[in-house]
Every structure is written in structure tokens, then in C-alpha cells.
Structure 1
Amino acid sequence: MSASYTTLIGAAELAQRIRDPDWVVFDCRFDLTNPDFGLQAYLGAHVPGSFFLDLETDLSAPKTGRNGRHPLPDPAKLAARLEACGVSHHTQVIAYDDANGMFAARLWWLLRWLGHNRVAVLDGGLQAWCRAGQALDSALPEARPATYTLALRPNRVDADFVLGRLNQPRMTLIDARSPDRFRGENEVLDPVGGHIPGAINRFFRDNLQPDGCFKQASILREEFGTLLGGRSPRQVVHQCGSGVTACVNVLAMESAGLSGSLLYAGSWSEWCADPQRPVATGQA
């Protein structure tokens, strides 16, 4: 078996293996304001051989009004969907999007949750692929059914876990939303503005260079090290609005060698759905 990619992969490296039968690529493009965008863009042109996964129908479960805007999908259903595209335990999975990795990182995190290590995000996304002069096509790939056995990992926490550790040194809560939404300003996606008390803000885009690729691992390690102030990465809980962009912060930490952080998947949209949970506004 060839070397595994477990965080990021460059366009040149992917191009060299794009026809490898043990590699499966997924197009995760999505637009929060236009749910049909991703599939239509995929049908128009995509990385050759890639399959499409939809954030809301494949990578999330149905909403109840209390479980956030993008609840985690049923693991067995997701595994079956991946199997249908040829993913087995030895498969190298690559995810990409055109939105700074925010949707591709969701699939990356979900596969790690399912127990799959050989998964990486295309650094710089579709834009980096095109800048490298690589081709796109519109042909739909043939399914290559495989078998995948679940081995769920305890890399997620729920609202009660967070509530029981608010403002305690045993949990460092990092919010990946933009600074204005963190402060409770300009909230357009959720009915309540603000953040979970004690959270610190690390906008997911702060992990990126101007070209949309991730910063060097050494830079990310330094920046997160400053943010953590000596606290263990394993005490970190990531959240955002709905458990999507927080995965970019998880990915950034892992690529920097800061392993073991957790995800509060329900995030702000679940948290604020219960009026009994405390809310903070302004700067942390």
C-alpha cells in the first residue's frame, strides 16, 4: 500500500494518482444560500472520476429544530453511500470543494469519525486544481461497490458535555465563525446572535493563505499554540454555526501536528435552540 494522505494533498500529487483504482475523490461543493448549486456545478464540470456528495442529503441528517442546521448523518447510511462509490478500509479518499475547504473538511472529519484514516482535503480546492492546469470533465464515474465496516471514534461531544465544562480549564472551546457573528452581530443564519460563554474565536479562514491554500504547518502550529496558551490540544472542542466550518479548524490543527481535538457537531445552531442554555455577546 502506498503512503497515506491524512490531512491535505496538493493538486500535483492528486493529479499523479487520479486514475488509481484505490483512490476515490469526492466533490463536496455547496452553497448555503443555494442548495442546488453543488450538484449543478458538479454536473457541469468536476475533477475527473470524482463522485458528488451533498452537504444536506449525504453529509447531514434531517433537522428537527433542536439538533442544529446540519446534524451529523446516520453513520450506517453514510457508510453505505461511501461503499456505493467504492470506499473500503484501504481506500485513499480525497475531498474537495471551491469554498476554502469548508465542505470538504466536513467529509474529512466524518470519515475520521467512521474510523477511516486515509482521507485528505485537496489543498486550495478546485481553484488550485485549475491553477495547476489540470483538466475537468463532466463524465459521471461508474460505481465501484465496496465493503466498509464501521469503527466509530469518540471524537465528538454533545451539548451536555460542553455545558458541564463551561469556563473550566479542562475544556478550550474554539468558535470558527466570523468575528462579527461570534460577537452576536450580523447574524443571518441562526435565530439568536452571540456565542457560547467562554469560547474563543478562531475564524476558519484564518488558517488560509491569500490563494486559499492552508498556511504552512509551522505557522499553524505557532498560531494555535498562541491561542491555546499551553493548554493541551486534546482538551480543545471545536464548534461553529452548524458543525461544518469548525472542521476546518480541526483539519488545521491536525495538519500542524496538534492532534486529538474534538468537535461539538451541534454547534451554535443547536446550542441556541434551547433558551435554557447561556449565551454571551461581544468579545470573549
Structure 2
Amino acid sequence: MYTTLISAEQLQSLATPHMVFDCTFDLAQPDSGQQAYRAAHIPGAVYAHLDTALSAKTGPAMSGGRHPLPTQEAFAAWLSSVGFANGMQAVVYDRNGVNYAGRLWWMLKWVGHDAVAVLDGGLQAWQAAGGAVSAEAEPAKFSTNFVPTPSLSNLVATETVVANLGRASQTIVDARATPRFKGEVEPLDPVAGHIPGALNRPFSQNLGPDGKFKPAEQLRAEFTALLGQRDPASVVHHCGSGVSANPNLIAMEIAGLGRTGLYAGSWSDWCSDPTRPVAQG
């Protein structure tokens, strides 16, 4: 069972029942990810659209922000509709440096499914290793009955973040690019800045020049330097809308620092209430 990363070579030889998910996306062009999938994807891969499969744009939601989480029941129904079953290994990838694949990785843990791994290096690594790609439409899958089990993720609500602001029991790590964190630019949300006291760790810093996660020892050293004397177990990750924070969460787990929390509403949820404090610089 793979629970964090899987290499292209390991996927090529994977014999256990599994399903591959393509999570490629672009916030500026929401349809372009699916177009890229149709042009070239790992044979048999299912496309997971951020807006429709991995978010609750309509109906009940489990978080706020620009990409609110669907209910666990709604997510389980989607998994069932594409033929994913509880006994399968899931492999998730994108073309975006784990920006979007990490969301599905986290959500599967959230519904109790531990057998999910990120394809290290994404589609680029798959092709570099000689993996085939397909432009054919994938046939409809037979529906299954995926059943959520006790969550393996820590979903942190806005109220919890507010209640613990400034306390040693909570360390906020912001995965957005540093200019957004500082409030110098804000291309997506109505307010610029960050949650007071947050630390900044742009999610792209987890990857090496080859697009793969850095070695565990290097990630551990970098996060230890970032946290200083703070307890890794106190970390709550966030970003703009609860998507690009997940590579940081995965990186900490690879580094052996444990499975940390996710504030899924993130900055887009936080800044929606003008009474909440904002820091800049």
C-alpha cells in the first residue's frame, strides 16, 4: 500500500487493484485542465475536476472559501460513480506541481481511505519514464458503493483557528506565494494579507528542479527551520482556498513530522469576515 508517494516506475509495475486520477487544473481557465486530460492522460485515468468533483459549488458544504469541501457523503457518491472502491489503491497526479492532486490525496484520507499516493513528478515524470499516454475517451466505469470510514485527516474549522489565534497550540503555515502572503498583490481575493502570526512556506518549495518532492531529510530540515521551537503537531496549513496547502501537508508527512491539520476555508474564507484581523508585510 502506498500512502504518500509512488514513483512512475512503481506505478508501471503496480499489480494490486488501483485507479489513477488526473487532477490537472487552472484557476484562470477552469476548463483547460479537462482539455489537457483529453489530449493526453495515463491510460485508464479518471479526470477529477476541482470545481465539480472536489468542491461543493452547490449543495451542502463542509467548509467556506472559494473551493468549499463537499460533504463526505457527496464525495463518496462521486467516487462510487467513477468506479472507485474501498479496496483499491488510488494514485493521483497533475501537471501542476501537486497543486491540485494534493487536494484529492487529502480528501481520500478525509473519508478514511489511506491507500492513496501522489505520483511523484506528475505526468511529466510518467512520460519521462517511458509511460504511455492516451487521448481516447475513457469508457464509463461500473458504479461501486464506496463507504466512508473514520477520517484520517484533521479538518480545522474557521472557529477553531479564531479561538486558538496567538496560542502555542496552533501554528498557521500559509502556502501562498510570498508576495500574496505579504499583501503586496492579491489576484483572487478581496483582501490582501495574511492571518496574524502565520508562517509562510510557498508550496512550490517542496519540490526539486525535477518536479519531484525533495528527499525526506531535506524537507525535515526545512520545516524544522521554519517552525523553530514550535511543535509540528500544532501546525494548521492553509492557502487561498484549501487546495495548494496540501503539498505542504504531504511534505511534512514525508519528512516524518506527522499528519497535520488543514484549514480548508483558508484565506478566502478568513477574509470574508471584516471583523477578523489581517496582517501585512
Q: Per the shorter chain, which TM-score range?
A: over 0.9
| Pair 47,159 (structure 1): closer, same or farther in 2 beyond 3 Å | same
- 1:39 and 2:34 matched: yes
Other-structure match for 2:147: 149
Q: In structure 2, the residue corresponding to 1:214 is in which secondary structure?
A: coil
- 1:102 and 2:81 matched: no
**TM-score between the two structures when normalised by the length of structure 2:** 0.94
Other-structure match for 1:239: 238
- Runs (4+) of structure 1 exceeding 3 A deviation are none
Amino acid at match of 1:30: F
Q: In structure 2, the residue corresponding to 1:121 is in which secondary structure?
A: strand
Which of 95, 108, 128 is the equivalent residue of 1:111? 108
Amino acid at match of 2:171: T
Q: In structure 1, the residue corresponding to 2:13 is in which secondary structure?
A: helix
Deviates more, 1:39-48 or 1:263-272: 39-48
**What is the 5 A alignment of 1:5-44?**
5-17=2-14, 20=15, 22-44=17-39
Which of 76, 87, 92 is the equivalent residue of 1:90? 87
Deviations 1:68-126 (A, max 9, x none): 11111121111111122222222100000000001000000000011110001111101
**What is the 5 A alignment of 1:173-252?**
173-252=172-251
Other-structure match for 1:78: 75
Other-structure match for 2:53: 58
Identity percentage over the alignment? Answer: 51
Other-structure match for 1:167: 166
Shift of 1:141: 4.0
Amino acid at match of 1:276: T
Other-structure match for 2:266: 267
Query: 1: distance between equivalents of 2:128 and 2:88?
Result: 27
Deviations 1:2-38 (A, max 9, x none): xx10011111111112xx4610000101001000011
Amino acid at match of 1:179: T
Deviates more, 1:55-64 or 1:254-263: 55-64
Query: 1: distance between equivalents of 2:255 and 2:87?
Result: 24
> How much is the aligned-residue C-alpha RMSD, in angstroms?
1.5
Shift of 1:232: 2.5
Shift of 1:149: 1.4
Amino acid at match of 2:271: C
Query: 1: distance between equivalents of 2:204 and 2:143?
Result: 36
| Pair 221,141 (structure 1): closer, same or farther in 2 beyond 3 Å | farther
Shift of 1:260: 2.6
| Pair 228,141 (structure 1): closer, same or farther in 2 beyond 3 Å | farther
Shift of 1:213: 0.5
Contact 1:79–1:150, Cα closer than 8 Å, also in 2: yes
- The size of the alignment, in residue pairs, is 276
- 1:48 and 2:43 matched: yes
Deviates more, 1:257-266 or 1:147-156: 147-156
Contact 1:51–1:141, Cα closer than 8 Å, also in 2: no
Query: 2: distance between equivalents of 1:72 and 1:29?
Result: 18
Query: 2: distance between equivalents of 1:78 and 1:21?
Result: 23
Contact 1:158–1:264, Cα closer than 8 Å, also in 2: yes
Amino acid at match of 1:48: P
Deviates more, 1:82-91 or 1:210-219: 82-91
Question: Gaps (5+ residues) in structure 1?
Answer: none
Question: Gaps (5+ residues) in structure 2?
Answer: none
Amino acid at match of 2:76: A
Amino acid at match of 1:223: E
Query: 2: distance between equivalents of 1:58 and 1:148?
Result: 15
Q: In structure 2, the residue corresponding to 1:39 is in which secondary structure?
A: helix
Contact 1:28–1:55, Cα closer than 8 Å, also in 2: yes
- 1:136 and 2:152 matched: no
